[in-house]
Chain A
Amino acid sequence: MTDAILQQPWFLWLTLIPLGAAILAFVLPRQAHLVGFATALILPFCALLAVRQGTLPHQLFLNAGGWDAPLGIALRNDGLALVMLAVTAGVGFIISCYATAYFSARRHKPDRPHYFWPLWLFLWGGCNALFISGDLFNLYVTLELVTLASVALIALEGGNKALNAALRYLFIGLIGSLAYLLGVAILYGTYATVDLGLLGDALTNTRLNHVAMALMVSGLILKSALFPMHFWLPQAHAMAPAPVSALLSALIVKTTFIVLLRLWFMVFPALDLVVTGQILGLLGSGAIIWGSLMALRQERLKLLIAYSTVAQIGYLFLVFPLARGDAAAAAWTGCVLLILAHACGKAAMFLVAGTIHHTAGHDRISQLAGAGGPVGVLVVVFALAAVTIIGLPPSGGFFAKWLLLSAALATGQWFYLLVILGGSLLSAAYIVRVLSWAFLDVKRSHYPVIPWVMKWPPLLLAVISLLFGLIAHQPLQLALIDAPVAGRVMLEISHAR
């Protein structure tokens, strides 16, 4: 019996269970929160089982329908997919806990949770389907699932501003998807397959392939809000209800980046991409500097956090110029670790911002002055979460940036060294700005009592993100399973402890 359970392909159940739960939550709207919470409770265990299977010798592919790759769809069970499935399950679970309290604390729109839960479960299933997909067209379908669910979730807050942000997000998503699809069509027209592995073997360095690559990459960077295509992100992330903001910033932005990562390292390695890699690196650097500067200027807490996301996305794109030769594995693991660290830290920050908004009735930074009391505690949680965003030890963000720095050193690209360090300084500046306001001594006013479910999940996430560095070698090893990169990963620091 236990054997049979262990033999199940859990990475695929992680897709089917949330989708099934989404149907259930849709059919039974009154029980939606129960369905959602139960699913959120089950999925981390499935993820643990999937990761356990992943560390044992296992089959890398599972062909849907039992048809081999060019005819059927290959589902991948590699390290990258497992890491993403696990982090989505973990962060998703904590955000779900928070959401149960958040929506019941705001009773003025009673039908909102009826829609939040099925939409979020759809989104969860869509993300997981995306992580395991090894097929260009299937990736497109999962991207549609993710985009559509996110749009509806952003619009859930109601009101003109939220609708505006949601509609803009929809248009951006559609343009990005269409550009991606055009690229897929060109590749299919040439090679008669949409399988990542087969395409990776077949592709040669032709101009047409470069065109396809350019179309797909530009579509995807538009969707993942790389500077200067980030214009839609701050509004979309800041207008949504707090749990939705956390989901979008922590998990959803990374989905398109994962697709890009897969394309770059699995489909296009045969293409000469040095210049394109440098362009993406430069755009990433621009995102780090510009996003941080804009975050410094924001008056509203949620907008500040959203601009911080713009900056952190920039770091992810440094993997493309840095993943070269021996340093490839270091850049790859640094990038994956940064995704994990940012997911925990940013989710915690948005949840705290939501609780502050709920408590104080607003999120204007200048009026948080002297908040003390209940809000003061929240600001401490915010600061804990921010440690990983700035990249201080022992957080996961520190090790991620350390790996990226070592890759920059190993490949002799000093410019990126400066960008990474400068970005850290700037992020420290905008975090300290929030903290300094909150601890100014001004009059203290009366605040309502905060339900405990709105306090503890953010704290838990913040502590996880803070201590993530101490267990960093485990996700790192997982991320290197069947990774399409080779080279040394300088893990001295994590071994030294």
Chain B
Amino acid sequence: MTGAQTLFDGLLVLLLVILAWVLLASKDLFRAIVLFISFGLLLALAWLRLKAPDIALAEAIIGAGITGALLLVGLGRLGSAVRCRPLPVRTTPLQRLSAPLLVGLLLPSIAAVVLVELFTLPIVASGQIKLVAAHLEHAGVDHPVTAVLLNFRGYDTFLEMGVLLLAVLSIWSLDRARHPFARDQIPAALLTLQRLLLPLLILVAGYILQRGAQGPGGAFQAGALLAAGIILAALCGHRLPPGHQGLLLRLALSCGFTTFLLAAAVTLARSGVPLLYPEHLAGSLILLIEIAATFSIAFLLAAAMAGGHPVPEAKPTAIDERKSA
């Protein structure tokens, strides 16, 4: 650890804290979201400095990219309805005091106690690194993070895929999809950008997916990149054909979770243990699950961005399946 590195880390931490404060204090929601995105990117840098490239990649793509875009879409939906107009609700003095008390007293004291006690944590927590390394040769993949996510703790990831599908299902139950642009309002620069970016996004997504077996990468990051491609295409006016918005779209959204569930069910019925892969098949099974998951995640994230269930005739969804196929 050189002096320059220490200085860099110090600056990074300082910047993160300042950025967090500014974005929380910002009254302009749009500005807060932009700050949030930059916060996510800096946080990815911090993860990189902590030698966790997988988390850095996920943070940059999902934390900053997808979440930021979701927030922007949400803000667009809110529109002018909530230009910080206080709701005419009568509050008791206790209710008015509760927020300052909570933020000013309770949370800082909890944080202080946790911080003081955290110093008793072992300095280098090695976690399960050794254990994972010892079993890696039986896992079917060479990258420890992928081995943990898809094999050792695959049951967790299986349920997480369920959470993702459930999230989109919840969004669909609330409202119908809306469109960012009318067809004639699409900026010309966006169309040019799309021509350049779309092939690149698909290529990089494929690379990251394939790379997951040996190094940082995998289904989630690749899916998020593909989702970005779908969203870009949707912004440029591409639409899912009406015939593909029913069963086909639903199948695309659920195929990742379905594949995982089938893997769990088949292994459970055969061997009595869920997700127990035969060792010689482990690698291919994991790749199969990852491909299905990538495909699904791309559609799920894009569907979340569309903000509601597809509306058949008048307003097609903001999803374009073309670009990810």
Contact = CB atoms under 8 A, between A and B. Distances in A.
Given A64-B275, A144-B163, A16 B264 contact: yes
Q: Which of B120, B131, B169 has the most CB of A within 10 A?
A: B169
- Chain A, interface residues (CB within 8 Å), range: 35 or more
Contact of A189 (B121, B132, B172, B254): B121
A16 B265 contact: yes
Given A27-B247, A189-B121, A65 B155 contact: yes
B304 to A, nearest CB: 12
Contact of A26 (B125, B156, B169, B268): B169
B268 A186 contact: no
Interface in B133-175: 135, 151-156, 159-160, 162-163, 165-167, 169-170, 172-174
A208 B154 contact: no
Q: Which of B113, B120, B170, B268 has the most CB of A within 10 A?
A: B170
A279 interface: no
A290 to B, nearest CB: 16
A118 B254 CA distance: 12
Contacts of B100: none
A71 B131 contact: yes
Given A73-B156, A190-B122, A215-B114, A65 B276 contact: yes
B160 A141 contact: yes
Contacts of A7: 272
A151 B170 contact: yes
A149 interface: yes
Chain B residues touching A, majority SS: helix
Contact of B155 (A28, A64, A118, A188): A64
Given A13-B268, A23-B261, A186 B118 contact: yes
A105 to B, nearest CB: 20
Interface string B157-201: 001101101110110111000000000000000000000000000
A251 interface: no
A72 B276 CA distance: 11
Given A9-B272, A144-B163, A27 B174 contact: no
Nearest to A192: B127
Given A16-B265, A152-B169, A189-B121, A145 B155 contact: no
Nearest to B251: A27
A67 B163 CA distance: 23
A19 B250 CA distance: 15
A138 interface: yes
Nearest to A170: B170
B38 interface: no
A71 B132 contact: yes
B98 to A, nearest CB: 10
Interface string B83-123: 00000000000000000000000000000011001101110
Contacts of A246: none
B274 A65 contact: yes
A23 to B, nearest CB: 5
B258 interface: yes
Contact of B127 (A13, A19, A186, A188): A188
A118 B169 contact: yes
B272 A119 contact: no
B135 A26 contact: no
Contact of B162 (A122, A211, A215): A122
B4 interface: no
Contacts of B125: 189-190, 192
A190 B122 CA distance: 6
B274 to A, nearest CB: 5
B159 A141 contact: yes
B173 A65 contact: no
Contacts of B254: 23, 26-27
B117 A73 contact: no
Contacts of B166: 119, 122, 145, 148-149, 152
B173 A152 contact: yes
B268 A12 contact: yes
Contacts of A215: 114
B174 to A, nearest CB: 6
A152 B170 contact: yes
B121 A73 contact: no
Contacts of A125: 162
A19 B174 CA distance: 21
A137 B253 CA distance: 25
A3 B135 CA distance: 33
B128 to A, nearest CB: 6
A208 B257 CA distance: 38
B126 interface: yes
B265 A20 contact: yes
A218 to B, nearest CB: 9
B22 interface: no
Q: Which of A66, A115, A186, A208 has the most CB of B within 10 A?
A: A66
Q: Which of A7, A118, A138, A215 has the most CB of B within 10 A?
A: A118
A251 to B, nearest CB: 17
Q: Which of B114, B166, B251, B274 has the most CB of A within 10 A?
A: B166
Interface string A136-176: 01100110110011011001100000000000000000000
B273 interface: yes
Interface string B256-283: 0110010011001101111111000000
A83 to B, nearest CB: 22
Q: Which of A9, A20, A67, A211 has the most CB of B within 10 A?
A: A67
Interface in A261-284: none
Nearest to A27: B250
Nearest to A23: B254
The 9 closest A-B pairs by CB, nearest first: A152-B170, A64-B155, A115-B173, A66-B276, A65-B275, A211-B117, A141-B159, A27-B250, A208-B117
29 contacts: A16-B261, A23-B261, A26-B250, A26-B253, A27-B250, A62-B274, A65-B153, A65-B277, A66-B273, A67-B135, A67-B151, A67-B152, A70-B128, A71-B131, A71-B152, A115-B169, A115-B172, A115-B173, A126-B159, A138-B155, A142-B159, A144-B163, A145-B159, A148-B163, A151-B170, A182-B114, A188-B127, A190-B121, A192-B126
Interface of B: 113-114, 117-118, 120-122, 125-128, 131-132, 135, 151-156, 159-160, 162-163, 165-167, 169-170, 172-174, 247, 250-251, 253-254, 257-258, 261, 264-265, 268-269, 271-277
Interface of A: 7-9, 12-13, 16, 19-20, 22-23, 26-29, 62-67, 70-73, 75, 115, 118-119, 122, 125-126, 129, 137-138, 141-142, 144-145, 148-149, 151-152, 155-156, 182, 186, 188-190, 192-193, 206-208, 211, 215
Given A23-B261, A70-B128, A149-B166, 14 more contacts: A8-B268, A13-B268, A19-B162, A23-B258, A27-B254, A70-B131, A71-B132, A72-B152, A115-B169, A115-B173, A138-B159, A145-B166, A192-B128, A207-B120
